[in-house]
Amino acid sequence: MINNIKGFVEQLNYDAEVFGNSFEYSGKRIFISGMGGSGAVADLLSDWLDGEIIPVKGYNLPAFAENGDLGIFVSYSGNTEETLSVLDKALRRGLKCICISSGGALEEIARDRGLLFLKVPSGFQPREAYGFLISAVVKALKIVGYLSEDAQREYSSAVGKLSNYLPELSSEDSKTYEVAGKLYRRIPLIYSQFYSVAVRWKNQINENAKNFAHISIFPEHNHNEIEGFEFPDFLKDKAWIIFLRTDFDHGRVKLRMEVVKEILREEVVGISEVWAKGESKLEQILYLIWFGDFVSYWLALMNSTDPYRIDRINSLKERLKIHTSGG
């Protein structure tokens, strides 16, 4: 697992194999469907490209998706039922479809129908293959002519510079290890303006460290969650807030985070802050995500748990297979 976390930048540079029929997409709307580690790619693209991308989580395609829109279907295993269900609806509604997986039913459907299909390497846990999936979606957007030259340059430059941070993120005397230590035996409350960053931290902490975690997005947090610290009492002894900050946070969000630190200081055990490094928005988002991947790994070791195993997810998927109803 640690080697795959360290290999994030190589994954982001991966040149996925392409099959099927290519096409040009000049429309505006792009739906990216996926769950868990695969769905996290949609969140990243949505934050990076300022909401032109619509993440689709779950079984249903939004009602406003129509003939000619673009749908990208990402499932590392290729067998996630929610993603296959959205693909089925998208094909029936006449969306242009691109599929990305390491194999499974998604590959079979794509190949049968001659859909544009990008194949990523097999043998990883989906969440470990995050970089492969991101690079495949970026490549797909390039192939259909959607990604601007500026965005392509930003991607290459961000990925190029990211490897410089490997030594400072990956050692046991790094800030990543220190942050993991703060979270040990505690409830992480992860705060960010960027959903993709906060949710990747949460997912990795959940799946790798088997640790509960909670996220809240700014500024929405200020309009509800800030009142929720009086009960239950144990929060004061268990919760640790982490602010994940970038230069691209709205000016008022930066201010709000400072004020919230003052207001909530006494309500939790402690507060940490991680400032992104890098120049572009993408580089800063990827830096924070990579930072969190290391935190989740160290926390898994501190929790004496195997970061690789996901017994409950596997058991759930097995049990669901027995029941074919409910579709």
Which residues form the interface with ligand F6R (CB under 6 A)? Answer: 35-38, 75-77, 80, 83, 125-127, 207, 310, 313
Between the alpha carbon of residue 150 and those of residues 14, 142, 191, the distances in Å are 20, 12, 29
Q: Least Å distance between CB 129 and ligand F6R?
A: 8
> Based on C-alpha coordinates, what's the Rg of the chain?
20
Q: Least Å distance between CB 51 and ligand F6R?
A: 23
Of 36 and 278, CB closest to ligand F6R: 36
Q: Which two tokens stand for residue 203?
A: 């997912």
227-234: long-range pairs with CB below 8 Å, 24+: 229/264, 229/267, 229/268
Of 83 and 176, CB closest to ligand F6R: 83
Sheet strands (E) in the chain? 17-19, 30-33, 53-56, 70-74, 96-101, 116-119, 187-192, 214-217, 239-245, 270-275
Of 71 and 126, CB closest to ligand F6R: 126
Q: Least Å distance between CB 35 and ligand F6R?
A: 4
Residue whose C-alpha is closest to residue 3's, from 294, 288, 287? 294
Q: Least Å distance between CB 316 and ligand F6R?
A: 9
- Contact between 58 and 81 (Cβ < 8 Å): no
Of 73 and 243, CB closest to ligand F6R: 73
Catalytic annotation, residues: 207, 223, 317
Return the residue nearest ligand F6R (CB atom).
Answer: 36
